[in-house]
Amino acid sequence: MPGSGRWNNATWILLLAIFHSCFSSYSEDQCSWRGSGLSQQQGSVEQISLHCSEGTLDWLYPKGALRLTLTPRLAPVAAAGPGGGGVTACVKPSEQFHGAQLYLERDGLLELLVGDRMEASPPPRVRCFSRTPGERLALFLQATPHQDISRRTASFRYELRGGGMARMALDSNAISREDACRPCNDTEILMAVCTSDFVVRGNIRSVEEDETLRAAVIKVSATRVFRQKYTLFTGSGRLASRGEVRTLLQCGVRPGPGSFLFTGRVHFGEAWLGCAPRYKDFQRTYSVAKAAQQIPCELPVD
């Protein structure tokens, strides 16, 4: 049909323009970004700035490079961390991370965090890094050359937390066994009760290994849920709530008798163990501190 070729070409140009505009923006809350390398020039660097404590980045058809600065609007206490140690950031690449390499840019130097994953290679691991107060860091994504970029997407989730607990929980490459598995002292236990994302009394049903995360998955029967920021432990009627808590595999957690107080943080939707004293030991610590009027917060202890 005369003119149909010109109409089809114009239609494709319009569709590509719409496609680029839809895939080259970040959400209204400026927590996440989703974009396409098809709209980038070869060798160009697109600047992105996100302002939340957690979010996602999806780079479809990577080409050129992205430079991402994370400037979350954290509360002063969270920004400083419990010990004034600044902010810990962690990135969790998707299992289908392809087509780019992810670097940490610090003081003008690049440190490789995640390489371009080959088809048969294992899923990339969570990587964490710290930022001291006043230090400026950025994430740099460099597209890797491929003849076919149609099936390549570089995606990851990020989290920023005050202090070093996220690094302790998630990045087993960065810490020693002694640091990761040291029992909490009385002061740390009392603070954990007040500041954790979950505080649960329960028993260990079983412990399984997650080799992908290098984590031990503790199956917990919760007899009392004091607090949970997210729905982690669920149950119905008189049945005990059930949930999972992860900790580093190197800590050697084993199932055993007795009741524990499980506390910790939620990272990327999963519960990670902080302090977990035996419940009778916690009761004694809490009673002594309460008698001395040194408890940082109230908890309805049995």
pLDDT tens digits for range 171-204: 545 445 566 688 999 999 999 999 999 999 999 9
More confident residue, 143 or 16: 143
Q: What is the mean pLDDT of the chain?
A: 80
Give one word for 91, left, alpha or beta, with left for phi > 0 and alpha for psi -120 to 50.
beta
The secondary structure element, H or E, covering residue 187 is: helix 186-195
Task: Domains for the chain: give ranges and CATH numbers.
Answer: 32-162 (2.60.120.290), 177-292 (2.40.50.120)
Q: Is the separation of the CB atoms in 45 and 67 below 8 Å?
A: yes
Beta-strand relationship, 33-36 and 54-60: parallel
pLDDT at 230: 84
- pLDDT of 75 above 70: no
User: For residue 247, what are its two tokens?
Assistant: 């900790």
Cα 36 to Cα 38: distance, rounded to the nearest angstrom = 5
Cα 298 to Cα 302: distance, rounded to the nearest angstrom = 12
pLDDT at 149: 64
pLDDT tens-digit map of 263-277: 999 988 889 999 999
pLDDT at 29: 61
- pLDDT of 9 above 50: no
More confident residue, 266 or 237: 266
pLDDT at 17: 38
Predicted structure pTM score: 0.71
pLDDT at 37: 87
Q: Is 188 helix (H, G, I), strand (E, B) or coil?
A: helix
Cα 83 to Cα 225: distance, rounded to the nearest angstrom = 28
Nearest to 186 by CA among 51, 297, 79, 285: 285
DSSP codes, 112-166:
EEEPPPPTTSPPPPPEEEEE-TT--EEEEEEEPP-S--TT-EEEEEEEEEESSHH
More confident residue, 161 or 179: 161
More confident residue, 256 or 291: 291
Report DSSP state, residue 211: T
pLDDT tens-digit map of 91-113: 999 988 989 999 999 888 899 99
More confident residue, 136 or 149: 136
pLDDT at 10: 40
More confident residue, 163 or 263: 263
If 0-12 CB within 10 Å is exposed, 13-18 middle and 19+ buried, where does residue 13 land?
Answer: exposed
Q: What is the mean pLDDT of residues 221-229?
A: 91
Phi, psi at 134, each rounded to 5°: 90, -10
